[in-house]
Amino acid sequence: MEKKVVLTGIKPTGVPHVGNYFGAIKPALELSRNYESRFFIADYHSLNSLKDPELLKQYVYEVAACWLACGLDPQKVMFYRQSGVPETFELTTIIMAFSSKGLMNRAHAYKAMVDKNREKGKPDDHNVNMGLFTYPVLMAADILLFDTDLVPVGKDQVQHIEMAQDIAEALNHNYKTQLLQRPEAMVSENTQTIVGMDGRKMSKSYNNTIPFFAPEKQLKKLVNKIVTNSQDIEEPKDPDSCSVFTLYKLFATQDEQQALAERYRAGGMGWGHAKAELFEKMNSLIKPMRERYEELMNDKSYIEKLLKEGEAKARELAAEKIRQLRKAIGID
Ligand code: TRP
């Protein structure tokens, strides 16, 4: 049997943090061992909110270098920029004609903007550009262009996948042909929420993130800033309600977790010690990847070459899909 196709898009929005690594990068790379995988950098998606050309360029390289340093093998995974596959935008135009405006009105991202505007007493569509409004159509094109079976995404993106299903069905129904594969969202239930330095979910909007490739000194500093309670050294401590331990679990083996939990419960271990343990574990996992990341960031022409190769492969598949569609539509 042919392997199923897994595809996911990565928005270039700055240096990934520990939460991104465990929540998205690591699980996606694990999936890529068993599926035909296509991972791409959704650069045109960023344009809706990011209009600084230097910054956009920087983010694209950062995110590419990050995934490569974390173990993405471009020989096994098709790795490309959305902008490098212009067929995406032709497909967007095609499926626009099968995407109802009502569907877009219901999109969470757009609705959230409207709600925010109302709260502030602004008109509904204040600061809403058409790129944001039609974001789900572009995302559907990303997915439908490659006969995608599965899309690993966070819960917040499930609605977008459902929209891609609706759009695919509308088009297939009209031409009475299975032209577009119906994609399914793949939401991993067990990805625990990764806590940030203040105990809340690690998120840029809470300003509590630990950048995955923070230089060693900065990493140590950030670990030392993790909020703990005010128990003193002698007191027995509860590992399960402690952010330091919660983060430690991500990096340590079962045995190591058990050992540290026992030291917590026994008392006599201060927060400084726990943080030092966490730092050592984090750093030993991250260090080789950080070095690779820095190497790659110092050789952007190499990143460029890898992405171009991925784009050439992706375009071949994409061009074939567009050919089929044009024929079906009557524009060929
Ligand atoms: N919208 C996704 C996000 O914000 C990124 C994305 C763009 C994507 N196109 C995609 C994800 C296609 C999966 C499939 O994270």
pLDDT digits (tens, 9 = 90+) for 109-131: 999 999 999 999 999 999 999 99
Q: What is the pTM of this model?
A: 0.93
- pLDDT in the model for residue 1: 66
pLDDT by residue (tens digit) across 187-215?
A: 876 566 789 999 999 988 899 999 999 99
- pLDDT of residue 332 exceeding 80, the answer is yes
Going by C-alpha positions, the residue among 188, 330, 210, 230 that lies closest to residue 282 is 210
Ligand 1 geometric centre to CA of 113 (Å): 18
Q: Which two tokens stand for residue 289?
A: 């990847």
Q: Which residues, judged by CB distance below 6 Å to any ligand atom, belong to the binding site of ligand 1? A: 7-9, 11, 42, 45, 139, 142-143, 151, 153, 157
Instruction: Please name the residue whose Cα sits nearest to atom 10 of ligand 1.
Output: 9
Higher-pLDDT residue of 226, 189: 226
Instruction: Please name the residue whose Cα sits nearest to atom 5 of ligand 1.
Output: 9
Percent of the chain with pLDDT over 90: 92
Ligand 1 geometric centre to CA of 143 (Å): 9
Ligand 1 geometric centre to CA of 142 (Å): 8
Under 8 Å between Cβ of 42 and 8: no
The overall longest dimension of the chain from CA atoms, in Å, is 78
Mutual orientation of helices 300-329 and 271-297 as an angle, nearest 10°? 70
For residue 233, count other CB atoms closer than 10 A to its CB.
12
- Position in ligand 1 atom list of the atom nearest CA 138: 9
Ligand 1 geometric centre to CA of 303 (Å): 21
> Tokens 């917040």 belong to which residue?
156
pLDDT by residue (tens digit) across 69-111?
A: 999 999 999 999 999 999 999 999 999 999 999 999 999 999 9
Instruction: Please name the residue whose Cα sits nearest to atom 8 of ligand 1.
Output: 9
- pLDDT in the model for residue 127: 93
Q: Which two tokens stand for residue 4?
A: 């199923």
Instruction: Please name the residue whose Cα sits nearest to atom 3 of ligand 1.
Output: 11
- pLDDT of residue 146 exceeding 90, the answer is yes
Query: CA–CA distance from 242 to each of 197, 201, 229, 303 (Å)?
Result: 11, 13, 8, 39
- Position in ligand 1 atom list of the atom nearest CA 139: 9
Ligand 1 geometric centre to CA of 153 (Å): 8
